[in-house]
Structure 1
Amino acid sequence: MISLRRLGRFPPPALLALFYFGAVVAGTVLLKLPISTRVPISWSDAAFTSTSAVTVTGLIVVDPGTVFTYFGQGVLAVLIQAGGLGLMTFAALVAAMLGLSVGMPQRMILRDDLNQTAMSDLMALVRVILRVALLFELGGAALLAVIFVPQFGWAEGLWQAVFHAVSAFNNAGFSLFSNGLMDYADTLIVTVTIPFLFITGGIGFVVLADMVSKRSWQPLSLHSKLMLTGTAVLILLGWVMFAALEWTNPGTLGGLDSMGARIQAAFFQAVTPRTAGFNTVATSEMGDSTALLTMGLMMIGGGSASTAGGIKVTTAIVLILGTLAFFNREKEPHIFGRSLGSNEVTKVMALTTLAALIVFAGTFVLTLRNDGDFLVLMFEVVSAFGTVGLSMGATSELDWSGRAAICVIMFLGRVGPLVLGFYLATQLRPRVRYPAGQIYLG
């Protein structure tokens, strides 16, 4: 057993990964308890569900609404909240409630969980995170209760509202309905409240705090401007493209009765890949071109220091800016009157390369032992890495090796960027410099 002294010698990212793994193990044990399930489930089912909840992914191998009791569903909600807000943020909340102080080692871990480089404002950021989460989750639950309480009654309706609000704000994508939110495709309160929650949670707490303190566009930080601009562009582009590609598909938008319902569903399906994972139409019925569009959105994901996954919006923007600067023969990319150094470009290249390698390796592993359409298998891998949770139906059909691979990918998708970000931020200057060489590219 690892002693506390040895544990303290671990690098903060390693400790963070260890805490996430510990949460997965604890969740697995709790979900396997007889009090958690209405019907017995295997250890494999419990481990997969726990991993999916802690990494706020939403991929499932059992139906949470019918398999788990209220206790089991409550365990899922706690795992989602802990994984979405970050385990150290969650731990800081518990410590504050108990009157305990958060010391320097804990702050270092918290710094990496929130993708911050300085520790002076960490606790202030934690307070913002907790207040924002509580405010939006309670507000979202109140709005959803307007629909769910008349349908299910007070007790069941309020629980449905709370669970879906928590799942949405944390970009988890878990639903207690067997067909997701397909029954509410034309219910405006649901199709607006749920996206509002996961878009807000996915923008990033740093951006939210910046918006509250600055309250106008000009003084916002470059990061906030990039996130808000990129999010708006991705929402509009995805909305238009999804509607154009699926408007006449009888399995998705074409199967809805009215134009209003189609417009709502197109909007919902355009924003949910960024990493929410809810669905109001059958994902398995999408055309190949729409599946590729969705995979692209899942890879991009949301913002840093948010509940979302993916390579992040700012990473995608910097990649595009770096490419444009290369073709324009500019020394460094620039936007909004600010330049980006080569160090930032190198970081996003490292993160994107790692993401591509994980997706490639994961798809390769799945195709070795699992029969199925290549696009469908790759869709599941991208969904797992982006911690999205959308599925075209392959996850429930995977064998033990496929499930294990998806679990590893979900874990890497949640913890991997944090660990990589730490090492990119703590690179040492080389003691020996080598003469420049030249290679031919292209």
Structure 2
Amino acid sequence: MVVAGFATAVAAGTGLLMLPAAKAGPGGADAVEALFTAASAVCVTGLVVVDTPSYWSGFGQAVILGLIQVGGFGIMTFASVLVMLVSHRLGLRARLRAASETKSLGLGEIRSVVVGVVKASLLIEAVIAFVLTLRFGLGYDTPWPEALWLGAFHSVSAFNNAGFALYSDSLMGFVGDPWICLPIASAVIAGGLGFPVLFELRRRWRRPRGWSLHTKIVLAASSGFLVGGTLFVTALEWGNPGTLGPLDVPGKLLAGFFQGVMPRTAGFNSVDTAEMNPATWLGMDVLMFVGGASAGTAGGIKVTTFAVLFFVIYAEVRGEASVNIFHRRLQGDVQRQALTVVLLSVAAVVGSTVVFLVFTDFSLDRSLFEVTSAFATVGLSTGITADLPAPEQLLLVALMFIGRLGPITVASALALRQRARLYDFPEERPVIG
């Protein structure tokens, strides 16, 4: 049902974007352009094959914004909200659909979770939009109606980790403006933490010892990746004349922080990604592949998956029989799920990169960056997306779709059943290593 819901949203968005009213110029967008943009918006990715501010009309941009919001809420969560508005209650079927999207475990809490998701999203988006509107209007003499539109669009795009911008160079024109970069980065971080973490922080922010294991893992891992990503990008690009080199020290630090945040699956850029060092691209590949937290707007394999496998390795190296994180023991099925997600994700990225190398003339580093960005629903690009042949663009559409839903979700949708084995085979240990 989740797969069908997202597919329906992509199809509807494609149809709307193919209307002549959605295009700024004469005629309508062709099928591949409309499909790619709709999938990128619903899957909150941000990769584009056409220039968003000049190619799409106001109506087209509004459609993109709506698709981003729908994708951020989650199709099933959004449908449950509509059910609540109509009937003022949730039936069992609607609760189960919402549970599959929000990763909630208790049916009795689904209604409050769905309402909380909507309230939290709209509140954060409204605050960020207010700050951005004031900055666009007062700092850049933008007419207030246009400033309001710019603030709202970029706020929704940032919180939902979409990365769509209404400037042809993304946010490169604001590389030294903290009143633009920091609110957008804050929205990206908030969306990437996930709704369960935001709810728990709101309820128990003064009692960190009472936080759940999930919240502790997300906050610890996210902090580590944010600090590490910022230091990594800043150090490698410090003297690069195409990126941070021409900026003063405060500007370099701001741009380095901004670009360290964006691989958490938001595709904004304040410097030219195509001019970065290949070593920086490789490090950003890792950051993009890991992504943000579960049950939020971020993509990737998720920081919780990465943390689980890290502690599995740590326990194995120490010779411990069980895996413990923050004084809690992990169940075996959690470890198997994490391993499944990672291996399926690696297979998707490596296989797609091979296709790029065989059928295009782009180098390995650029191909890997583009594929990882699509799969992790990031949206950062080295500038080759628009130049790709149509089959490779459609491959990126498939990667965005799979990356948004998650490999384990797709696998479950294809074979949603569990079998209880009534017997076990004899044990035998193969040689490892």
Shorter-chain-normalised TM-score: which range? over 0.9
1:55-204 to 2 correspondence within 5 Å? 55-150=43-138, 151=140, 152-204=142-194
Equivalent position of 1:22 in the other structure: 8
Q: State whether structure 2 residue 218 is matched by structure 1 residue 222.
A: no
Amino acid at match of 2:12: A
Shift of 1:436: 1.3
Decide which moves more: 96-105 or 192-201: 96-105
Q: 3-state DSSP class of the match of 1:98?
A: helix
What is the aligned-residue identity percentage? 37
CA distance in 2, matches of 1:93, 1:71: 25
* Cα distance between partner residues in 2 of 1:125 and 1:332: 33
* Distance in 1 separating the partners of 2:332 and 2:12: 42
Q: Which residue of 1 aligns with 2:228?
A: 237
1:358 aligns with 2:356: no
SS in 2 for 1:178: coil
How far is the alpha carbon of 1:130 from its aligned partner? 0.7
- Runs of 4+ in structure 1 off by over 4 angstroms are 420-426
Separation in 1 of the partners of 2:144 and 2:87?
Answer: 35
Show the counterpart of 1:3.
Answer: none
- Corresponding position: 1:212 with 2:212: no
Shift in Å, 1:426: 6.4
Q: Shift of the alpha carbon at 1:320?
A: 0.6
Q: CA deviation at 1:421?
A: 8.1
Looking at structure 2, the residues matched to 435 and 61 of structure 1 have their Cα atoms a distance apart, in angstroms, of 55
SS at match of 2:209: coil
- 1:67 is displaced (CA, Å) by 1.1
Per the TM alignment, residue 41 of structure 1 is displaced from its structure 2 partner at its CA by 2.2
Tell me, in whole angstroms, the C-alpha distance in 1 between the residues paired with 2:314 and 2:418: 27
1:416 equivalent among 403, 406, 413: 406
Q: CA deviation at 1:418?
A: 5.7
Is the 1:351–1:420 contact (alpha carbons within 8 Å) kept by the matching residues of 2? no
Higher mean displacement: 240-249 or 336-345: 336-345
Letter of the structure 1 residue corresponding to residue 216 of structure 2: K
Q: Is the 8 A contact 2:340 2:408 kept in 1?
A: no
1:253 to 230, 237, 244: 244
CA distance in 2 between counterparts of 1:49 and 1:230 reads 31
- In structure 2, C-alpha distance between the alignment counterparts of 1:282 and 1:164, rounded to whole Å: 19
* TM-score between the two structures when normalised by the length of structure 2: 0.96
- Which residue number corresponds to residue 285 of structure 2? 295
8 Å contact from structure 2 (residues 265, 291) kept in 1: yes
How far has the Cα of 1:104 moved from its partner? 1.3
Q: Name the SS of the counterpart of 1:180 in structure 2.
A: coil
Corresponding position of 2:295:
305
Q: Tell me, what secondary structure is at the counterpart of 1:272?
A: helix
CA distance in 2, matches of 1:22, 1:267: 37
Separation of aligned partners in 1, 2:419 and 2:120: 36
Letter in 2 for 1:431: L
1:276 Cα shift?
Answer: 0.8
> In structure 2, how many angstroms separate the alpha carbons of the residues matched to 1:209 and 1:250?
43
- Shift of the 250–339 alpha-carbon distance from structure 1 to 2, 3 Å rule, reads same
1:258-337 correspondence to structure 2 within 5 Å: 258-337=248-327
Provide the rounded CA distance (Å) in 2 between the counterparts of 1:157 and 1:425.
Answer: 47
Give the alignment partner of residue 33 of structure 1, picking from 8, 16, 19. Answer: 19
User: Which whole-Å CA distance do the structure 2 matches of 1:227 and 1:428 have between them?
Assistant: 32
Tell me how far 1:395 sits from its aligned partner: 0.8
Amino acid of the residue matched to residue 361 of structure 2? D
Residue-by-residue CA offset, 1:129-150 (whole Å, 9 max, x unaligned): 1111010000000000122124
Opposite residue 323 of structure 1, the aligned amino acid is: I
**Counterpart amino acid of residue 76 in structure 2:** M
Deviation at 1:70, TM superposition (A): 1.3
Q: Distance in 2 between matches of 1:210 and 1:426?
A: 32
- The residue type paired with residue 38 of structure 2 is S
CA distance in 2, matches of 1:262, 1:19: 42
Alpha carbons 2:402, 2:410 under 8 Å: kept: no
Give the distance between the partners of 1:114 and 1:368, measured in 2 at CA: 39
Q: CA deviation at 1:173?
A: 0.4
C-alpha distance in structure 1 between counterparts of 2:411 and 2:303, whole Å: 15
Structure 2, unaligned runs of 5 or more: none
**Alignment of 1:386 onto 2:376:** yes
1:414: Cα distance to partner?
0.7
TM-score for both structures, normalised by structure 1: 0.94
CA distance in 1, matches of 2:234, 2:254: 10
Q: Amino acid of the residue matched to residue 222 of structure 2?
A: T
Aligned length: 427
Over residues 119-170 of structure 1, what are the superposed CA-to-partner deviations in whole Å (9 max), with x where a residue is unaligned? Answer: 2211111111111101000000000012212432111110010000000000
